[in-house]
Structure 1
Amino acid sequence: MKVCHPWRSVTLNHKRHIQFLKSFPWLLLTAGEEEDQRYFFIPSENRACRLNLPEARGCHCWGSPNGWLVTLGFDQQFHLLNPLTRKRLPLPPLSTFKDRNFTASKPGTNRMFCVRKASVFTDDENPQFLVVYLIIGEFQKCAFARPGDTTWTVVGKSDLLIDVINFNGKLYAVKNGGHIRVCDDPNGPHPTLIHFAALPDVVMGTERFYLVELGGELHLVVRTSDRTQTDIPPYEFHHYVKTSYFEVFKLDLSTLKWDELETLGDYALFVGSNTTFALKASHYPDQCKAGCIYFTDDYDEAYGKLVGDDMGIYNLEADTFELLYKGDDILSRFSPPVWITPKPF
């Protein structure tokens, strides 16, 4: 394994816990996937560290802004895992979601390809409330569960989704090549998505989409990619796709009209296969780049080739890219790097 920064172990104690109460997001790297230690890059300090985390050994992981990783192991078990405290909460196993593409004879294949995205949402007034949304299966359906549930609840009419968000007590979803859908009562007995709004007129529908709350309003992030050449042989490389630019649109919930943003102002966005989230850069002085989108590779590769290379920092107003992290330890056949904001609870 080649790395670009010296690895340093993090020893957690009470003083460390205080330090992480308002931490800038970390990047969980793919290095150490099959080891008891997992490796993290801390952009605000331009350094990497390692944590003893045997609970994540061999797991496909998805990050979140609220301190939790969603993990899926070869045993087909989902968990919520706090990488600082190593606290782990059980979620329903993969076997409770029925899909004809899943086969118990190939658990590794299930782990790599069954979940397109996992998002974790909580209640600001009740941090103990947690709900995990998956985009899962052959038809990219939405399923959700809370810690301790025995089965995943499948949301009706949720085929071909790309991203979901729990916003103002409602579930919003963006459909592949389609439109925005909403479920007014995701806690009801039969949660079902219905049509809510069309995509912005200038959007083709073939891009990648992310839903995010920004300043108390619902926004759509559009990621456009181009096919490019690479020096790495195609068989070993993941794909020929590189992000070319982003667009961000705000939805007026009363008129259902979209307004394109020319700048993010004080905000920074974090997108990838993790929960999509925004931060105020002024809350992280000298750490966070305002007006930028921090992105990781989430291209849907169906053949188990390497993923992880398409990542960086994009300035929306200037239309410029900046290197985020580079090293062989971002490439994986299991899961690409993901964002997580560490919290010591």
Structure 2
Amino acid sequence: MKEAKHRINMEEQESGKVQEKVNDLEDVEANETKAHLPYLPLDMVKLIAKRLILVDYLHFRATCKMFHSVAPQIQWRTTTPRLENPSLSPWLVLFGKESVYSFIDPNHGEKYLINLPQVLKEGSIIRSSKDGWLLVTVRMSTFFFNPFTQALLPLADRSFRIRNPCMGFSSTPDSSECVAVEIEDKTANNSNFFVNYCSPGNEDWDEWEFEYTNFSFDCNSPVFYKGAFYYLGKEGNLGILKLNDEEHSFEVLTKPKPPCNGNFQKFLVECNGELLSIFVAPFGKWVRVFKLNESKMTWVRVENLGNYMLYVSHTSSMSAIVKSPGMENKIYFPRFYGESIVFYSLETDNYHSFKSKDVVDFYSTTELLCCGWIEPRWC
């Protein structure tokens, strides 16, 4: 009996020592946190968490137990975060499995999933993107969709299927100036083109027919620039669509002349108030950037983007000011090297990825077609 009591006392003492060590470790961690933040009350820490951009918010939660308790976990599949500073660089968005959209951060390589509304879960196609909104079609229906706020705005129903992926829109759908446009190629029996256009709240899509011009539409979305839609044709020439109350017009510019002749991938993007064209040689042999000189109507070669970066795809192309060191002066494509997004550096004239220090061989990359770029915005 005495031996049993002695054993119990020894176990209790050992258990007490272990608990004391656990308490000591927790006290040390708490003291270290307080040492780093001696003047920040809990309310101030909460305020800081609310104003962080998403990636920093996720890192903030992982710093210590205090931060983890202050910043709630983001349930991406059921809710969306409403962070106050949406100053993230564009993400690649694509329709994924299980009826969700997948988002990939090209810098950090992190992947996020967001649930789709029921109406978009079967056969939705991304057509264009602007200011955090997507223009999406589902069979004969068209929607504006903000995947971060889950806002969904349907446009008027159609009596025909969307045949041409060349679609775009002028501004966010909450703007009175917003209009979505689609160009229909001429048919075998008709040499003319048709523009279908619609604004939020309209009961029908309007159609405008214009005569055939020496212009072949590519499958890229247009850029809304200075009150008009600019198209970069298959031959590298510019076409301008103006939808005015009195009279619509489509003009093919004789100047500027195409800066490159040949079968190239080509993209059009607005950057810092100027119009840029990007040409990619077959098999990615080289990438060239040109800026439109509007006074002389010529394309001028750009060899350095400075503090800007470009994101190009067939559904959406955009520019952004660098927010993370090392991303500047680069062009990001919907291409992957393994699981890392590929970019072209104008400084090295080579393809790279953030997960590989070596030059990336273009033949070893994979291009995604049904995707686009989007600016993460919760406002």
Cα distance, 1:246 vs structure 2: 1.8
Q: State how 1:159-170 maps to structure 2 within 5 Å.
A: 160-162=216-218, 163=220, 164-170=222-228
Match of 1:23 in 2: 88
Aligned to 1:41: 104
* DSSP-derived class of the 1:122 partner: coil
Letter of the 2:267 partner, please give it.
Y
* Whole-Å separation in 2 of the counterparts to 1:295 and 1:155: 34
TM-superposed deviation, 1:249: 1.0
- Match among 134, 137, 147 for residue 72 of structure 1: 137
1:344 aligns with 2:378: yes
**Structure 1 residue 179: Cα displacement:** 1.7
Alpha-carbon displacement from aligned partner over 1:264-316 (angstroms, at most 9, x marks no partner): 111111111223211111xx134x7111111226xxxxxxxxxxx99721112
TM-score of the superposition, structure 1-length normalised?
Answer: 0.70
* Equivalent in the alignment of 1:234: none
1:22/1:121 CA distance change after superposition, 3 Å: farther
Going from structure 1 to structure 2, the CA distance change for 1:153 and 1:293 (only over 3 Å counts) comes to farther
Instruction: Note the residue ranges of structure 1 that are not aligned, 5 or more in a row.
Output: 1-7, 97-101, 103-109, 227-242, 298-308
After the TM superposition, which residues 196-275 of structure 1 pair with which residues of structure 2 at under 5 Å, given as runs?
A: 196-198=253-255, 200=257, 202-226=259-283, 243-275=284-316
> 1:299-310 to 2 correspondence within 5 Å?
none
User: Can you give the 5+ residue segments of structure 2 that lack an aligned partner in the other structure?
Assistant: 1-73, 188-192, 356-365
> Could you say if the C-alpha distance between residues 207 and 145 of structure 1 is closer, same or farther in structure 2, counting changes exceeding 3 Å?
farther
Q: 1:19 to 1:224 in 2, by over 3 A?
A: farther
SS at match of 1:161: coil
Confirm or deny: 8 A CA contact 2:276 2:290 kept in the other structure. Answer: yes
2:324 aligned with 1:285: yes
Q: Secondary structure at the match of 1:22?
A: coil
Distance 2:107 2:207 in 1: 38
Aligned to 1:134: 182
SS at the partner of 1:314? strand
Q: What is the CA–CA distance in structure 1 between the aligned matches of 2:346 and 2:194, rounded to whole Å?
A: 31
Alignment-mate amino acid for residue 132 of structure 2: G
Which of 56, 65, 87 matches 2:151? Answer: 87
> Which residue pairs with 1:232 in the alignment?
none
Deviations 1:42-77 (A, max 9, x none): 22332111112134312111342411111111x420
Secondary structure of 1:296's counterpart equals strand
Please give the alpha-carbon distance, in whole angstroms, between the structure 1 residues aligned to 2:341 and 2:255. 28
Question: What is the CA-CA distance between 1:78 and the residue it aligns to?
Answer: 0.8
- Relative to structure 1, the CA distance from residue 49 to residue 311 in structure 2 (aligned partners, 3 Å threshold; closer, same or farther) is closer
Partner residue, 2:67: none
Q: Higher helix proportion, which one?
A: 2
Higher relative CO (Cα under 8 Å, sequence separation at least 6) belongs to 1
Taking only aligned residues, the RMSD between alpha carbons, in angstroms, comes to 3.4
Instruction: Mark the CA change 1:153 to 1:223 in structure 2 (over 3 Å): closer, same or farther.
Output: farther
Q: How many residues align?
A: 282
Q: Among 297, 320, 323, which residue is 2:350 paired with?
A: 320
